[in-house]
Amino acid sequence: MIRGILKFLFLTLLLCGLAFVLISGGHAAGSTLITTSGVNLRAEPSTNAKVVRTVGEGASVEVFSHDPVGWSKVRVNEFEGFIRSDFLTIPSGGSVTFKTTDGINMRAEPSTKSDRVRGISAGVNVEVLTHDPDPKDGWSKISYEGSEGYVKSEYLTLAALASQSSSENGGSSGNSGSSGGSNDKVTTSAPAPTTLRTNTAARMRSGPGTDKEVVKVLGLGTSVEVVEQSKNGWTKVKHGGSTGYIRSDLLGVGNNKVELLTMSQLKTVIKSGDKIQIFDVRTGISFTIRAFSVGRHADSEPLTKADTEAMSKIVGGKWSWNARPVWATVNGRTFAAALPFMPHAGSTIGDNGMNGHVCLHFADSVANNQSYQADLRKAVQEAWNAAKR
């Protein structure tokens, strides 16, 4: 009799479980999101499909499949259907685990122009703290391996559903709001490459060490592609078809480092005796000068014979009053400037190979000759424009 009772209970439980599966449509347990506004729940993933019901803003929905730039299959109370994914987000104050659909950059701020925090591979789980589901401009604040930052929302899907085929959503038919335009996708599942600039003249070496062969010397502000992130103080980079290693402390984002200041502002930065590293924007050649007088401009002279030779190389051995666009780095800051390569008047360094000095000009340079002044300011502007590229 006991055996009969147990058998009856077993069959009852089995039938109840089957009934639950049938009632629930046979879906695995979903993830819960909320609606960002009033939205239509449709019978099919299309704006032309029948409206099952209208769902209010802030309603909790159970998600069974999720295409970040298409449609999500959901259940609201006893109703099932499809809602555009750009109307779904995470509950306020909570966090939800998402998975990256492609390799992607984590940024310090929600912008592709913001500093890159790190690259994240495809198929990686990240904790989403805030989520803007807009498929074109939406960004999500995430936490990953101890770092926080922002990634494009279009490259995140619910982790619990990531293994499901996006075809279950019926693709992106109807008004899906595909991303288009600029994005921050990285087309590799490996850690995302990025571009950095040298923040001083830097030697690219064949290996990670100062005892390794020098492959080439790069001037201040030279863009390099990062092949492998900083390791033991060195970063593996690629430049002009060559691959090598540069000390990590000699690399930075570059674009946001160049400043445009007036001479009056710069008088608080540049002092007599300061060494100034010059990067010629047009050739990429760097050299060092030393200021000995700072007034309407900075009277300066090349520090060594090698610096004079570098200057001569830039102008093809012919000194000229024509102003050249340069970046001037002094006391840890870099400025857009203009430098005519014409030695004149007196000097203070006797063994540098130059008889005379040159004048370094900045944004509001004043000259007695209006045409010359216009040439100087045009060169400063060219240096500034080069820094913004």
Q: Are 111 and 117 in contact (CB under 8 A)?
A: no
- Tell whether 295 and 370 lie within a shared domain: yes
Q: What is the DSSP letter of 83?
A: E
Domain range for residue 350?
A: 258-388
- Give me the CATH number covering residue 34: 2.30.30.40
Report if residue 342 sits inside a domain.
Answer: yes
Check pLDDT > 60 for residue 322.
yes
The b-or-e profile of 301-325 (16+ CB within 10 A means b, else e) is bbbbeebbbbbbebbeeebeeebbb
Query: Which of 234, 252, 270 is the last residue before a domain boundary?
Result: 252
Number of domains observed in the structure of the chain = 3
Report if residue 3 sits inside a domain.
Answer: no
Q: Are 297 and 289 in contact (CB under 8 A)?
A: no
Check pLDDT > 70 for residue 20.
no
- Tell whether 54 and 147 lie within a shared domain: yes
Check pLDDT > 80 for residue 114.
yes
Q: How confident is the model at residue 312 (pLDDT cuts 50, 70, 90)?
A: very high
- Tell whether 179 and 245 lie within a shared domain: no
| 238-245 LR contacts (CB < 8 Å, sep 24+) | 239/204, 240/216, 242/204, 242/215, 242/216, 244/204, 244/205, 244/206, 244/207, 244/215, 244/216, 245/204, 245/205, 245/206, 245/207, 245/208, 245/209, 245/212
Backbone angles phi, psi at 335, to 5 degrees: -130, 145
Q: How confident is the model at residue 3 (pLDDT cuts 50, 70, 90)?
A: low
Q: Could you tell me if residue 221 is left (phi over 0), alpha (psi between -120 and 50 degrees) or otherwise beta? A: left
| Alpha-carbon span 203 to 6, nearest angstrom | 80
**Digit-coded pLDDT (tens) for 205-243:** 999 888 889 999 887 667 788 888 666 778 899 998 899
Average pLDDT over residues 277-295: 88
